[in-house]
Amino acid sequence: MLDFKIAQQVKANTDFCHILGVQAKDKKVLHKNWPKEIQNIAQKYPILKEFKGEEGEIYTVFDKEQNPIIIMGLGEKIKKEQLKRNIATAFKNFEGQKVDSALIYLDTFAAEEIKKVDEMAELFVEAFALTDYKFNLYKSKQTKEKKKTIVLNSSQKIATASIKAAQQTAECINLSRDLSNKAPNELDSVSYAKLLEQDAKKLKNVKIKILKKSEIVKEKMGLLLSVNAGSSKEPRFVHLTYIPKKKAKNSKHIALVGKGITFDTGGYNLKPSTSIAGMKFDMAGSSTVYGAFRAAVLLESPHTISCIIPLTDNAIGPTATTPDSIIKGRNGKTVEILNTDAEGRLILADALDYTCDLKPNYIIDAATLTGACLVALGTEVCAIMSNNNDLTQKLKESAQNAGEYLWELPIIEEWKKDIKSKVADIKNIGGNRNAGTPKAAAFLQEFIKNDIAWAHLDIAGVADNQSHLPYCPANGASGVMIKSLINFLMK
Protein backbone atom coordinates (compact mmCIF):
# COMPACT_ATOMS: atom_id res chain seq x y z
CA MET A 1 0.00 0.00 0.00
CA LEU A 2 1.37 3.35 -1.03
CA ASP A 3 0.19 6.67 0.25
CA PHE A 4 1.22 9.61 -1.94
CA LYS A 5 1.58 13.11 -0.56
CA ILE A 6 2.52 16.41 -2.09
CA ALA A 7 4.89 18.80 -0.36
CA GLN A 8 6.42 22.07 -1.38
CA GLN A 9 9.14 22.20 1.21
CA VAL A 10 10.26 19.39 3.47
CA LYS A 11 13.20 19.53 5.79
CA ALA A 12 15.58 16.82 4.78
CA ASN A 13 16.25 15.57 8.25
CA THR A 14 13.34 13.30 9.07
CA ASP A 15 13.09 9.54 8.63
CA PHE A 16 12.97 9.46 4.89
CA CYS A 17 14.60 7.56 2.12
CA HIS A 18 15.68 10.51 -0.03
CA ILE A 19 15.55 10.04 -3.78
CA LEU A 20 17.39 12.41 -6.08
CA GLY A 21 18.41 12.58 -9.72
CA VAL A 22 21.63 13.76 -11.33
CA GLN A 23 22.03 14.66 -14.95
CA ALA A 24 25.33 13.95 -16.64
CA LYS A 25 25.57 17.55 -17.78
CA ASP A 26 25.90 18.60 -14.16
CA LYS A 27 29.47 17.43 -14.26
CA LYS A 28 29.91 18.02 -10.58
CA VAL A 29 28.47 15.26 -8.51
CA LEU A 30 26.42 17.53 -6.38
CA HIS A 31 23.37 18.79 -8.10
CA LYS A 32 22.60 22.44 -7.80
CA ASN A 33 18.98 21.69 -6.97
CA TRP A 34 19.83 19.42 -4.08
CA PRO A 35 18.94 20.64 -0.61
CA LYS A 36 21.96 21.84 1.34
CA GLU A 37 21.60 19.08 3.92
CA ILE A 38 21.85 16.42 1.27
CA GLN A 39 24.81 18.14 -0.41
CA ASN A 40 26.66 18.12 2.89
CA ILE A 41 26.00 14.46 3.42
CA ALA A 42 26.92 13.51 -0.12
CA GLN A 43 30.22 15.34 0.13
CA LYS A 44 31.28 12.90 2.81
CA TYR A 45 31.04 9.97 0.43
CA PRO A 46 34.19 9.61 -1.62
CA ILE A 47 32.45 6.97 -3.71
CA LEU A 48 30.17 9.65 -5.07
CA LYS A 49 33.18 11.32 -6.69
CA GLU A 50 33.10 8.45 -9.16
CA PHE A 51 29.47 9.09 -9.90
CA LYS A 52 29.09 10.51 -13.38
CA GLY A 53 25.35 10.88 -13.52
CA GLU A 54 25.18 8.34 -16.32
CA GLU A 55 21.87 6.72 -17.01
CA GLY A 56 21.35 3.62 -14.90
CA GLU A 57 23.90 4.58 -12.22
CA ILE A 58 22.27 4.22 -8.83
CA TYR A 59 24.04 4.83 -5.53
CA THR A 60 22.68 4.49 -2.04
CA VAL A 61 24.40 6.36 0.78
CA PHE A 62 23.30 7.05 4.35
CA ASP A 63 23.03 10.13 6.51
CA LYS A 64 23.99 10.43 10.19
CA GLU A 65 20.72 8.83 11.27
CA GLN A 66 21.26 6.02 8.78
CA ASN A 67 18.53 7.28 6.51
CA PRO A 68 19.17 6.16 2.95
CA ILE A 69 19.76 8.58 0.11
CA ILE A 70 19.25 7.07 -3.34
CA ILE A 71 21.01 8.98 -6.08
CA MET A 72 20.03 8.16 -9.65
CA GLY A 73 22.01 8.97 -12.76
CA LEU A 74 19.88 10.38 -15.58
CA GLY A 75 22.45 10.60 -18.36
CA GLU A 76 22.41 13.31 -21.02
CA LYS A 77 18.87 13.12 -22.33
CA ILE A 78 16.90 10.35 -20.70
CA LYS A 79 13.69 9.17 -22.34
CA LYS A 80 10.55 8.98 -20.23
CA GLU A 81 10.26 5.20 -20.49
CA GLN A 82 13.90 4.72 -19.52
CA LEU A 83 13.38 6.99 -16.52
CA LYS A 84 10.27 5.00 -15.59
CA ARG A 85 12.37 1.84 -15.52
CA ASN A 86 15.05 3.50 -13.42
CA ILE A 87 12.41 4.81 -11.02
CA ALA A 88 11.12 1.25 -10.65
CA THR A 89 14.64 0.07 -9.81
CA ALA A 90 14.96 2.88 -7.27
CA PHE A 91 11.65 1.84 -5.73
CA LYS A 92 12.90 -1.73 -5.26
CA ASN A 93 15.98 -0.27 -3.61
CA PHE A 94 13.78 1.81 -1.28
CA GLU A 95 11.67 -1.28 -0.49
CA GLY A 96 14.79 -2.99 0.82
CA GLN A 97 15.50 -0.16 3.27
CA LYS A 98 14.30 0.09 6.86
CA VAL A 99 12.43 3.36 6.48
CA ASP A 100 8.79 3.38 5.39
CA SER A 101 8.72 6.82 3.81
CA ALA A 102 10.37 8.16 0.71
CA LEU A 103 10.98 11.78 -0.18
CA ILE A 104 11.37 12.46 -3.88
CA TYR A 105 13.09 15.64 -4.99
CA LEU A 106 11.17 16.08 -8.22
CA ASP A 107 13.07 19.22 -9.21
CA THR A 108 16.26 17.19 -9.60
CA PHE A 109 14.65 15.03 -12.31
CA ALA A 110 14.19 15.67 -16.01
CA ALA A 111 13.26 13.60 -19.06
CA GLU A 112 13.11 14.32 -22.75
CA GLU A 113 9.32 14.19 -23.16
CA ILE A 114 8.43 15.70 -19.79
CA LYS A 115 7.61 19.38 -19.74
CA LYS A 116 5.76 19.91 -16.47
CA VAL A 117 6.37 18.87 -12.89
CA ASP A 118 2.88 17.29 -12.88
CA GLU A 119 3.99 14.84 -15.55
CA MET A 120 7.09 13.95 -13.56
CA ALA A 121 4.95 13.38 -10.48
CA GLU A 122 2.61 11.15 -12.51
CA LEU A 123 5.53 9.11 -13.78
CA PHE A 124 6.76 8.50 -10.24
CA VAL A 125 3.32 7.59 -8.92
CA GLU A 126 2.65 5.20 -11.77
CA ALA A 127 6.08 3.56 -11.70
CA PHE A 128 6.00 3.18 -7.90
CA ALA A 129 2.47 1.76 -7.80
CA LEU A 130 3.17 -0.69 -10.64
CA THR A 131 6.41 -1.85 -9.04
CA ASP A 132 4.73 -2.22 -5.64
CA TYR A 133 2.36 -4.85 -7.14
CA LYS A 134 2.49 -8.27 -5.46
CA PHE A 135 0.31 -11.30 -6.10
CA ASN A 136 0.04 -13.30 -2.88
CA LEU A 137 -3.58 -14.42 -3.08
CA TYR A 138 -2.81 -18.12 -2.76
CA LYS A 139 -0.12 -17.99 -0.10
CA SER A 140 -1.48 -19.58 3.07
CA LYS A 141 0.76 -17.34 5.15
CA GLN A 142 -0.41 -13.82 4.42
CA THR A 143 2.15 -11.18 5.34
CA LYS A 144 0.59 -7.85 5.97
CA GLU A 145 2.01 -5.25 3.62
CA LYS A 146 3.30 -2.20 5.43
CA LYS A 147 1.88 1.14 4.41
CA LYS A 148 4.51 3.29 2.76
CA THR A 149 4.33 7.05 2.42
CA ILE A 150 5.75 8.71 -0.65
CA VAL A 151 6.24 12.46 -0.51
CA LEU A 152 6.54 14.22 -3.83
CA ASN A 153 8.53 17.34 -3.18
CA SER A 154 8.85 20.24 -5.58
CA SER A 155 9.21 24.01 -5.44
CA GLN A 156 6.39 24.11 -8.02
CA LYS A 157 2.76 23.31 -7.37
CA ILE A 158 1.71 19.77 -8.21
CA ALA A 159 -1.94 19.18 -9.09
CA THR A 160 -3.59 16.57 -6.86
CA ALA A 161 -5.70 15.56 -9.87
CA SER A 162 -2.53 14.38 -11.65
CA ILE A 163 -1.57 12.21 -8.72
CA LYS A 164 -5.06 10.76 -8.54
CA ALA A 165 -5.16 10.00 -12.26
CA ALA A 166 -1.80 8.22 -12.14
CA GLN A 167 -2.95 6.22 -9.12
CA GLN A 168 -6.16 5.20 -10.89
CA THR A 169 -4.23 4.16 -13.98
CA ALA A 170 -1.89 1.96 -11.94
CA GLU A 171 -4.81 0.59 -9.92
CA CYS A 172 -6.54 -0.55 -13.13
CA ILE A 173 -3.37 -2.12 -14.51
CA ASN A 174 -2.84 -3.92 -11.19
CA LEU A 175 -6.46 -5.10 -11.14
CA SER A 176 -6.01 -6.49 -14.63
CA ARG A 177 -2.84 -8.29 -13.46
CA ASP A 178 -4.82 -9.77 -10.55
CA LEU A 179 -7.47 -11.13 -12.93
CA SER A 180 -4.87 -12.76 -15.19
CA ASN A 181 -2.92 -14.22 -12.29
CA LYS A 182 -5.95 -15.96 -10.79
CA ALA A 183 -5.89 -19.75 -10.99
CA PRO A 184 -8.12 -21.19 -13.72
CA ASN A 185 -9.87 -23.53 -11.29
CA GLU A 186 -11.09 -20.39 -9.55
CA LEU A 187 -11.53 -18.02 -12.47
CA ASP A 188 -13.79 -19.75 -14.98
CA SER A 189 -16.19 -18.20 -17.48
CA VAL A 190 -19.05 -18.00 -14.97
CA SER A 191 -17.12 -16.71 -11.96
CA TYR A 192 -15.12 -14.31 -14.12
CA ALA A 193 -18.28 -12.79 -15.62
CA LYS A 194 -19.67 -12.35 -12.10
CA LEU A 195 -16.48 -10.71 -10.95
CA LEU A 196 -16.56 -8.25 -13.86
CA GLU A 197 -20.21 -7.51 -13.16
CA GLN A 198 -19.51 -6.80 -9.49
CA ASP A 199 -16.63 -4.52 -10.32
CA ALA A 200 -18.31 -2.70 -13.22
CA LYS A 201 -21.38 -2.06 -11.03
CA LYS A 202 -19.26 0.33 -8.99
CA LEU A 203 -18.35 2.40 -12.04
CA LYS A 204 -20.33 5.49 -12.99
CA ASN A 205 -22.05 5.81 -16.39
CA VAL A 206 -21.52 2.13 -17.22
CA LYS A 207 -24.21 -0.26 -18.45
CA ILE A 208 -23.72 -3.98 -17.99
CA LYS A 209 -25.13 -6.78 -20.09
CA ILE A 210 -24.03 -10.36 -19.61
CA LEU A 211 -25.30 -13.02 -22.00
CA LYS A 212 -25.78 -16.53 -20.61
CA LYS A 213 -25.56 -19.65 -22.76
CA SER A 214 -29.22 -19.55 -23.85
CA GLU A 215 -28.79 -15.97 -25.03
CA ILE A 216 -25.51 -16.83 -26.76
CA VAL A 217 -27.44 -19.56 -28.58
CA LYS A 218 -30.11 -17.03 -29.54
CA GLU A 219 -27.36 -14.76 -30.89
CA LYS A 220 -26.24 -17.71 -33.08
CA MET A 221 -22.67 -17.48 -31.85
CA GLY A 222 -21.87 -20.95 -33.12
CA LEU A 223 -18.11 -20.48 -33.00
CA LEU A 224 -18.03 -19.41 -29.35
CA LEU A 225 -20.33 -22.33 -28.55
CA SER A 226 -18.10 -24.76 -30.45
CA VAL A 227 -15.10 -23.80 -28.33
CA ASN A 228 -17.24 -24.16 -25.21
CA ALA A 229 -18.54 -27.58 -26.27
CA GLY A 230 -16.04 -29.57 -24.20
CA SER A 231 -16.39 -27.42 -21.11
CA SER A 232 -18.07 -28.23 -17.82
CA LYS A 233 -18.92 -24.53 -17.52
CA GLU A 234 -21.31 -22.42 -19.55
CA PRO A 235 -19.86 -19.67 -21.73
CA ARG A 236 -20.51 -16.04 -20.93
CA PHE A 237 -20.53 -12.95 -23.12
CA VAL A 238 -19.82 -9.70 -21.32
CA HIS A 239 -20.93 -6.43 -22.89
CA LEU A 240 -20.15 -3.20 -21.02
CA THR A 241 -20.95 0.27 -22.27
CA TYR A 242 -19.62 3.55 -20.97
CA ILE A 243 -21.38 6.70 -22.09
CA PRO A 244 -19.56 9.87 -21.10
CA LYS A 245 -21.42 12.57 -19.22
CA LYS A 246 -19.56 15.22 -21.14
CA LYS A 247 -18.96 14.56 -24.79
CA ALA A 248 -16.36 16.49 -26.75
CA LYS A 249 -16.40 17.63 -30.37
CA ASN A 250 -14.16 14.74 -31.30
CA SER A 251 -16.12 12.16 -29.29
CA LYS A 252 -16.11 8.74 -30.92
CA HIS A 253 -17.49 5.32 -30.18
CA ILE A 254 -14.59 2.96 -29.51
CA ALA A 255 -15.16 -0.76 -29.01
CA LEU A 256 -12.65 -2.96 -27.23
CA VAL A 257 -12.82 -6.74 -27.63
CA GLY A 258 -10.73 -9.13 -25.52
CA LYS A 259 -10.01 -12.86 -25.84
CA GLY A 260 -11.27 -14.50 -22.69
CA ILE A 261 -10.11 -18.12 -22.76
CA THR A 262 -9.88 -18.92 -19.06
CA PHE A 263 -7.72 -21.94 -19.87
CA ASP A 264 -6.49 -23.25 -23.20
CA THR A 265 -5.81 -26.98 -23.21
CA GLY A 266 -5.79 -26.95 -27.01
CA GLY A 267 -8.85 -29.23 -27.06
CA TYR A 268 -8.46 -32.42 -29.13
CA ASN A 269 -5.31 -30.84 -30.54
CA LEU A 270 -4.08 -31.09 -26.99
CA LYS A 271 -1.15 -28.90 -26.08
CA PRO A 272 2.06 -30.73 -25.08
CA SER A 273 3.23 -30.45 -21.45
CA THR A 274 5.87 -27.94 -22.45
CA SER A 275 3.33 -25.39 -23.61
CA ILE A 276 0.15 -26.10 -21.63
CA ALA A 277 1.30 -24.60 -18.33
CA GLY A 278 0.73 -20.87 -18.34
CA MET A 279 -2.42 -21.15 -20.45
CA LYS A 280 -4.40 -19.53 -17.63
CA PHE A 281 -3.03 -16.33 -19.16
CA ASP A 282 -5.07 -16.98 -22.30
CA MET A 283 -7.66 -14.55 -20.96
CA ALA A 284 -5.10 -11.73 -20.80
CA GLY A 285 -6.72 -10.04 -23.80
CA SER A 286 -9.92 -9.72 -21.79
CA SER A 287 -8.20 -8.42 -18.66
CA THR A 288 -6.19 -5.99 -20.80
CA VAL A 289 -9.28 -4.46 -22.40
CA TYR A 290 -11.15 -4.44 -19.10
CA GLY A 291 -8.24 -2.67 -17.36
CA ALA A 292 -8.13 -0.04 -20.10
CA PHE A 293 -11.91 0.35 -20.13
CA ARG A 294 -12.03 0.75 -16.35
CA ALA A 295 -9.28 3.38 -16.36
CA ALA A 296 -10.95 5.33 -19.18
CA VAL A 297 -14.20 5.35 -17.18
CA LEU A 298 -12.47 6.58 -14.01
CA LEU A 299 -10.52 9.19 -15.97
CA GLU A 300 -13.76 10.27 -17.66
CA SER A 301 -12.86 9.71 -21.29
CA PRO A 302 -14.93 11.85 -23.70
CA HIS A 303 -15.62 8.78 -25.88
CA THR A 304 -18.37 6.20 -25.77
CA ILE A 305 -16.61 2.91 -25.05
CA SER A 306 -17.90 -0.63 -25.47
CA CYS A 307 -16.04 -3.48 -23.84
CA ILE A 308 -16.84 -6.91 -25.25
CA ILE A 309 -15.54 -10.09 -23.67
CA PRO A 310 -16.40 -13.62 -24.85
CA LEU A 311 -15.62 -16.11 -22.09
CA THR A 312 -15.03 -19.87 -22.06
CA ASP A 313 -12.24 -22.33 -21.50
CA ASN A 314 -10.96 -24.54 -24.33
CA ALA A 315 -11.42 -27.94 -22.75
CA ILE A 316 -11.08 -31.51 -23.93
CA GLY A 317 -13.70 -34.20 -23.32
CA PRO A 318 -16.31 -36.37 -24.99
CA THR A 319 -18.42 -33.40 -26.05
CA ALA A 320 -15.55 -31.23 -27.23
CA THR A 321 -15.49 -30.15 -30.87
CA THR A 322 -13.34 -32.44 -33.00
CA PRO A 323 -11.04 -31.36 -35.82
CA ASP A 324 -12.79 -31.56 -39.21
CA SER A 325 -15.98 -30.12 -37.70
CA ILE A 326 -17.66 -27.38 -39.69
CA ILE A 327 -19.32 -24.65 -37.67
CA LYS A 328 -21.41 -21.66 -38.68
CA GLY A 329 -20.48 -18.34 -37.11
CA ARG A 330 -22.79 -15.51 -36.07
CA ASN A 331 -22.20 -13.77 -39.41
CA GLY A 332 -23.33 -16.87 -41.34
CA LYS A 333 -19.87 -17.89 -42.58
CA THR A 334 -18.97 -21.57 -42.21
CA VAL A 335 -15.64 -22.46 -40.63
CA GLU A 336 -13.75 -25.71 -41.02
CA ILE A 337 -12.09 -26.40 -37.67
CA LEU A 338 -8.79 -28.01 -38.61
CA ASN A 339 -7.10 -27.34 -35.31
CA THR A 340 -9.01 -26.99 -32.06
CA ASP A 341 -6.04 -25.15 -30.55
CA ALA A 342 -6.73 -22.20 -32.87
CA GLU A 343 -9.74 -21.36 -30.68
CA GLY A 344 -9.08 -17.72 -29.82
CA ARG A 345 -9.92 -16.57 -33.34
CA LEU A 346 -13.18 -18.51 -33.15
CA ILE A 347 -14.53 -16.81 -30.05
CA LEU A 348 -13.26 -13.45 -31.30
CA ALA A 349 -14.95 -14.01 -34.67
CA ASP A 350 -18.42 -14.07 -33.12
CA ALA A 351 -17.52 -11.27 -30.74
CA LEU A 352 -16.26 -9.07 -33.60
CA ASP A 353 -19.39 -9.66 -35.65
CA TYR A 354 -21.55 -8.74 -32.64
CA THR A 355 -19.39 -5.64 -32.06
CA CYS A 356 -19.78 -4.49 -35.69
CA ASP A 357 -23.55 -4.38 -35.11
CA LEU A 358 -22.94 -1.71 -32.45
CA LYS A 359 -21.58 0.45 -35.29
CA PRO A 360 -18.56 1.84 -33.46
CA ASN A 361 -16.03 4.13 -35.16
CA TYR A 362 -13.16 1.89 -34.09
CA ILE A 363 -12.80 -1.71 -32.98
CA ILE A 364 -9.63 -2.78 -31.19
CA ASP A 365 -9.19 -6.36 -30.08
CA ALA A 366 -6.49 -7.72 -27.81
CA ALA A 367 -5.64 -11.40 -27.65
CA THR A 368 -2.96 -13.90 -26.73
CA LEU A 369 -3.66 -15.30 -30.16
CA THR A 370 -0.58 -16.99 -31.59
CA GLY A 371 2.62 -18.64 -30.39
CA ALA A 372 4.00 -17.49 -33.74
CA CYS A 373 3.94 -13.92 -32.42
CA LEU A 374 6.77 -14.83 -30.03
CA VAL A 375 8.77 -16.22 -32.95
CA ALA A 376 8.21 -13.07 -35.00
CA LEU A 377 8.61 -10.35 -32.38
CA GLY A 378 9.89 -11.99 -29.21
CA THR A 379 8.47 -11.46 -25.77
CA GLU A 380 9.01 -7.70 -25.77
CA VAL A 381 6.97 -6.48 -28.74
CA CYS A 382 3.24 -6.49 -29.34
CA ALA A 383 2.02 -7.03 -32.91
CA ILE A 384 -0.64 -4.88 -34.54
CA MET A 385 -2.58 -5.79 -37.67
CA SER A 386 -5.35 -3.65 -39.07
CA ASN A 387 -7.58 -2.77 -42.00
CA ASN A 388 -7.07 0.93 -41.38
CA ASN A 389 -3.83 2.85 -41.55
CA ASP A 390 -5.12 5.87 -39.67
CA LEU A 391 -6.14 3.73 -36.69
CA THR A 392 -2.78 1.92 -36.77
CA GLN A 393 -0.92 5.22 -36.67
CA LYS A 394 -3.05 6.49 -33.78
CA LEU A 395 -2.44 3.33 -31.79
CA LYS A 396 1.28 3.37 -32.54
CA GLU A 397 1.43 6.93 -31.27
CA SER A 398 -0.44 5.94 -28.11
CA ALA A 399 1.98 3.06 -27.57
CA GLN A 400 4.97 5.32 -28.17
CA ASN A 401 3.71 7.70 -25.47
CA ALA A 402 3.21 4.76 -23.14
CA GLY A 403 6.76 3.52 -23.75
CA GLU A 404 5.37 0.22 -25.07
CA TYR A 405 6.56 -1.51 -28.26
CA LEU A 406 3.99 -1.98 -30.99
CA TRP A 407 4.98 -3.23 -34.45
CA GLU A 408 2.81 -3.63 -37.49
CA LEU A 409 2.52 -6.83 -39.52
CA PRO A 410 0.70 -6.81 -42.89
CA ILE A 411 -2.41 -8.75 -43.87
CA ILE A 412 -1.71 -9.58 -47.52
CA GLU A 413 -4.14 -11.02 -50.09
CA GLU A 414 -2.17 -14.28 -50.30
CA TRP A 415 -2.78 -14.94 -46.61
CA LYS A 416 -6.47 -14.13 -46.97
CA LYS A 417 -6.56 -16.80 -49.70
CA ASP A 418 -4.60 -19.21 -47.58
CA ILE A 419 -7.41 -19.48 -45.04
CA LYS A 420 -10.08 -20.34 -47.65
CA SER A 421 -11.43 -23.84 -47.13
CA LYS A 422 -12.22 -26.46 -49.76
CA VAL A 423 -15.30 -27.67 -47.91
CA ALA A 424 -16.42 -24.59 -45.95
CA ASP A 425 -16.07 -20.83 -46.44
CA ILE A 426 -12.90 -20.55 -44.41
CA LYS A 427 -10.69 -22.73 -42.22
CA ASN A 428 -9.28 -21.82 -38.83
CA ILE A 429 -5.59 -22.36 -39.68
CA GLY A 430 -3.41 -21.58 -42.68
CA GLY A 431 -2.00 -24.16 -45.07
CA ASN A 432 1.41 -24.13 -43.36
CA ARG A 433 3.05 -22.80 -40.21
CA ASN A 434 4.46 -19.66 -41.82
CA ALA A 435 3.13 -16.20 -40.90
CA GLY A 436 0.89 -17.63 -38.19
CA THR A 437 0.25 -14.27 -36.55
CA PRO A 438 -1.02 -12.28 -39.55
CA LYS A 439 -2.88 -15.30 -40.92
CA ALA A 440 -4.85 -15.36 -37.67
CA ALA A 441 -5.55 -11.67 -38.28
CA ALA A 442 -6.69 -12.46 -41.83
CA PHE A 443 -9.15 -14.90 -40.26
CA LEU A 444 -10.47 -12.24 -37.84
CA GLN A 445 -10.88 -9.76 -40.68
CA GLU A 446 -13.47 -12.11 -42.24
CA PHE A 447 -15.75 -11.07 -39.38
CA ILE A 448 -15.40 -7.30 -39.72
CA LYS A 449 -18.27 -5.82 -41.66
CA ASN A 450 -19.26 -2.41 -43.05
CA ASP A 451 -15.59 -1.44 -43.39
CA ILE A 452 -15.38 -0.52 -39.73
CA ALA A 453 -11.84 0.53 -38.79
CA TRP A 454 -10.41 -2.38 -36.84
CA ALA A 455 -7.06 -3.23 -35.28
CA HIS A 456 -5.95 -6.50 -33.75
CA LEU A 457 -3.27 -6.59 -31.05
CA ASP A 458 -1.54 -9.93 -30.56
CA ILE A 459 -0.28 -9.74 -26.98
CA ALA A 460 0.90 -13.37 -26.76
CA GLY A 461 4.50 -12.27 -26.19
CA VAL A 462 3.99 -9.39 -23.81
CA ALA A 463 1.12 -10.52 -21.57
CA ASP A 464 3.26 -12.26 -18.97
CA ASN A 465 6.79 -12.75 -17.66
CA GLN A 466 8.12 -9.31 -18.56
CA SER A 467 11.18 -9.75 -16.34
CA HIS A 468 13.13 -7.21 -18.40
CA LEU A 469 10.76 -4.46 -17.22
CA PRO A 470 11.59 -3.43 -13.64
CA TYR A 471 8.03 -2.14 -13.08
CA CYS A 472 6.56 -5.53 -13.98
CA PRO A 473 6.73 -8.61 -11.77
CA ALA A 474 9.39 -11.04 -13.07
CA ASN A 475 6.72 -13.73 -13.38
CA GLY A 476 3.02 -13.62 -14.08
CA ALA A 477 0.75 -11.08 -15.70
CA SER A 478 2.40 -7.88 -16.90
CA GLY A 479 -0.39 -5.46 -17.77
CA VAL A 480 1.64 -4.37 -20.78
CA MET A 481 -0.41 -2.60 -23.51
CA ILE A 482 -3.05 -1.33 -21.08
CA LYS A 483 -1.37 2.06 -20.82
CA SER A 484 -1.23 2.30 -24.63
CA LEU A 485 -4.95 1.63 -24.82
CA ILE A 486 -5.69 4.14 -22.06
CA ASN A 487 -3.74 6.78 -23.99
CA PHE A 488 -5.82 6.00 -27.06
CA LEU A 489 -9.10 6.11 -25.13
CA MET A 490 -8.23 9.42 -23.47
CA LYS A 491 -7.23 11.29 -26.65
10 Å CB burial of residue 104 (0-12, 13-18, 19+) is: buried
Of 211 and 369, which CB lies nearer to ligand BES in the complex structure? 369
CA-closest candidate to residue 345, choices 233, 456, 179: 456
- Rounded Cα gap, residues 407 and 236, in angstroms: 32
Residue 342 CB, nearest approach to ligand BES (Å): 4
Site for ligand BES contains 264 (CB under 6 A): yes
Residue 366 CB, nearest approach to Zn ion (Å): 13
Query: Hey, which residues does 426 pair with through a beta bridge?
Result: 335, 420
Residue 208: CB atoms within 10 A of its CB come to: 17
Parallel, antiparallel or unpaired: strands 382-386 and 68-73: unpaired
**Candidates 40-48, 165-173, 336-344, 483-491; binding stretch for ligand BES (CB under 6 A):** 336-344
CA-closest candidate to residue 199, choices 256, 238, 170: 238
Site for ligand BES contains 323 (CB under 6 A): no
- Rounded Cα gap, residues 355 and 306, in angstroms: 8
Site for ligand BES contains 282 (CB under 6 A): yes
**Candidates 174-182, 319-327, 335-343, 347-355; binding stretch for ligand BES (CB under 6 A):** 335-343
When binding is defined by CB under 6 A, the residue of 310, 344, 470, 479 that contacts ligand BES is 344
When binding is defined by CB under 6 A, the residue of 370, 398, 445, 487 that contacts ligand BES is 370
SS3 100: coil
262-291 footprint of Zn ion as x/- string (CB under 5 A): --x-----------------x---------
Site for ligand BES contains 482 (CB under 6 A): no
212 catalytic residue (yes or no): no
Count Cβ neighbours within 10 Å for each residue of 446-476 and write b for 16 or more, e otherwise.
bbbeeebbbbbbbbbbbbbbbeebbbbbeeb
Residue 370 CB, nearest approach to Zn ion (Å): 9
- Rounded Cα gap, residues 411 and 431, in angstroms: 15
| Partner touching 122 among ligand BES, Zn ion, none, CB below 5 to 8 Å by kind | none
Site for ligand BES contains 336 (CB under 6 A): no
Residue 322 CB, nearest approach to ligand BES (Å): 15
Residue 474 CB, nearest approach to ligand BES (Å): 17
Residues 6+ apart with CB under 8 A from 132: 1, 2, 91, 95, 148
271 catalytic residue (yes or no): yes
Question: Site residues for Zn ion, window 330-359 (CB under 5 A)?
Answer: 341, 343-344
Parallel, antiparallel or unpaired: strands 236-242 and 334-337: unpaired
- Rounded Cα gap, residues 356 and 362, in angstroms: 9
Q: Where are the alpha helices (DSSP H) in 132-188?
A: 160-181
Please tell me which residue in 148, 182, 236, 271 is annotated as part of the active site. 271
- Rounded Cα gap, residues 146 and 31, in angstroms: 32
| Partner touching 117 among Zn ion, ligand BES, none, CB below 5 to 8 Å by kind | none
Question: Site residues for ligand BES, window 211-250 (CB under 6 A)?
Answer: none
Element counts in the chain: helices (H) and strands (E): 15, 18
Please tell me which residue in 177, 236, 280, 345 is annotated as part of the active site. 345
Site for ligand BES contains 436 (CB under 6 A): yes
| Partner touching 313 among Zn ion, ligand BES, none, CB below 5 to 8 Å by kind | none
Site for ligand BES contains 481 (CB under 6 A): no
What is the torsional sign of CA 301, 303, 304, 309?
Answer: negative
Site for ligand BES contains 368 (CB under 6 A): yes
Residues classed as catalytic = 271, 345
Binding site for ligand BES (CB under 6 A): 264, 282, 339, 341-344, 368-372, 429, 436, 460
Binding site for Zn ion (CB under 5 A): 261, 264, 282, 341, 343-344
